[in-house]
Amino acid sequence: MIKMVGAIPIASLKRNLMQVRERIAAAAARVSRLPDTVKLVAIAKSVGVAEIKALMELGVTEIGESRAQDAKKKIMALGAAAGAHWHLVGHLQTNKADQAASLFQTIHSVDSIRVAQALHKEMRKLADQTKMSQPLRCLLEINVAGESSKFGLPPTVTEIAEILRVTNDLSALRIVGLMTMAPYVENDATVSRPIFQKLRELRDELNDQRCYSHPLIELSMGMSQDYWIAVEEGATLVRIGSALFEI
Ligand SMILES: *Cc1c(COP(=O)(O)O)cnc(C)c1O
């Protein structure tokens, strides 16, 4: 009998996870990076609680969702014992900032001063209620490819620096890096490389200019179609969904 987790045989899930980890390690080795400088964020938007639980039992601790509402249902169903680190990777509207601040530990999709201010305000409220005051980890989403269908700040140092200067004063947030999505091109991962290179250059330039109180460390880039290229170009967070859940 085939043991299933949700709609996927457990053997497939294990095999996929092993392949993804191996591919990350191989890409890191090609550019002399240590494999543990890259975190796998399992994007769970297409699966349910059973798959997330199984992944966590296999040692995955970073779970990503693209919508706060979906994450809420899954986090409640998993229970507090689960202990995962939750990442919001999809677009965030200011009117969902309260949910986002209470559910996620890292937000990859901050793309305006308004969203940053809304998150800061909600984090301050939560800190008053819970007496915990860890800053919320945030990344600025950058639309490197300039696709009109995508969210994100324009890829210019001046515009990103401006947001960083404002967020310096938002003590409940900690900007930890930059995030981007490469254009989707079926079976051609090469288009992603210049996008990822550009994101790394932007981060390095912003760090050189010291626009922000802390160095920007993280580069959230690479999905199922191109994560090994992202690792070669310096990704510290790869966001992988479908490659984990194929049957
Ligand atoms: C869905 C999603 C991913 C994962 O995409 P896959 O192609 O399934 O790996 C990564 N990042 C964001 C922002 C997403 O919405």
Reported as a single tens digit per residue, the pLDDT across 26-39 is: 999 999 999 999 99
Distance 42 CA to ligand 1 centre (A): 9
Q: How confident is the model at residue 80 (pLDDT cuts 50, 70, 90)?
A: low
pLDDT of residue 82: 67
What integer is the mean pLDDT of 71-75? Answer: 93
pLDDT of residue 81: 54
What integer is the mean pLDDT of 176-188? Answer: 91
Please name the residues in contact with 186: beta carbons below 8 A apart, sequence gap of 6 or more. 225
**Which of 45, 139, 195, 221 is the pocket-test mutation for ligand 1 (most atoms within 8 Å of CB)?**
45
Ligand 1 atom, smallest distance to 245 CA = 8
Estimate to the nearest angstrom the gap between the alpha carbon of 43 and the chain centroid.
9
Ligand 1 atom, smallest distance to 66 CA = 15
88-112 per-position pLDDT tens digit: 999 999 999 999 999 999 999 999 9
Sign, Cα dihedral of 186, 221, 208, 34: negative
Ligand 1 atom, smallest distance to 227 CA = 9
Model confidence at 232: pLDDT above 90: yes
The pTM score is 0.97
Indicate whether residue 20 lines ligand 1 (CB < 6 A). Answer: no
Distance 243 CA to ligand 1 centre (A): 10
Q: Quick one: angle between helices 49-57 and 10-30, nearest 10?
A: 60
Distance 241 CA to ligand 1 centre (A): 6
Q: Quick one: angle between helices 192-209 and 157-167, nearest 10?
A: 50
Q: What does the chain come to in residues?
A: 247
pLDDT of residue 39: 98
Q: How confident is the model at residue 19 (pLDDT cuts 50, 70, 90)?
A: very high
* Averaged pLDDT score across all residues of the chain: 95
127-157 per-position pLDDT tens digit: 988 877 799 999 999 999 999 999 999 999 9
